[in-house]
Amino acid sequence: MKALRFAAAALAACALGAAAQTPAGEAARGKPLYMKNMCYTCHGTGGQGTRYGGRLAPSPLPWEAFAQQTRHPRAAMPRYPVEFVSDADLADIVAYLASIKPGPKASEISLLKE
């Protein structure tokens, strides 16, 4: 019985460990999901942020913080429960945001030097 309890605890620990890992996402799938779920209305089509929601790209928050905010928003953002946007879909959205290249620095834009 004791051994069984230990095995159950070890299994639970493994499951927790697995849940904490960043799921691999696909940027190509993430973009349409980001649009379909209306993230862009507040965070901008390129994740650049708007007056309604902050910048999400090019360096989105680490998976745990990103998922925490989406599932349990801190303040004004609507909640996206797992039944609505699955973890796999959310991972694709994060991959899309991570794939966005940062824009050039102002000092690298020649038109601004004229």
Among 32, 73, 81, 104, the residue binding ligand HEC under the rule CB under 6 A is 73
> Taking the CB of residue 88, how many other CB atoms lie within 10 A of it?
14
Footprint (CB under 6 A) of ligand HEC, residues 10-69 = 37-39, 41-43, 52-54, 56, 61, 66, 69
CB-CB contact of 83 with 14 (8 Å): no
Q: Is 83 in the site for ligand HEC (CB under 6 A)?
A: no
Q: Decide if residue 81 touches ligand HEC (CB under 6 A).
A: no
> Is the peptide bond between 23 and the residue preceding it cis, with omega within 30 degrees of 0?
no
Stretch that binds ligand HEC, among 1-9, 22-30, 72-80, 99-107 (CB under 6 A): 72-80
Q: What sign for the dihedral angle of Cα 49, 55, 60, 62?
A: negative
Return the C-alpha torsion angle 24, 57, 71, 68, nearest 10: 80
Q: In angstroms, what is the minimal distance from the CB of 103 to ligand HEC?
A: 18
Residues of the shown chain interacting with ligand HEC in the complex, contacts defined by CB under 6 A: 37-39, 41-43, 52-54, 56, 61, 66, 69-70, 73-78, 80, 85, 93
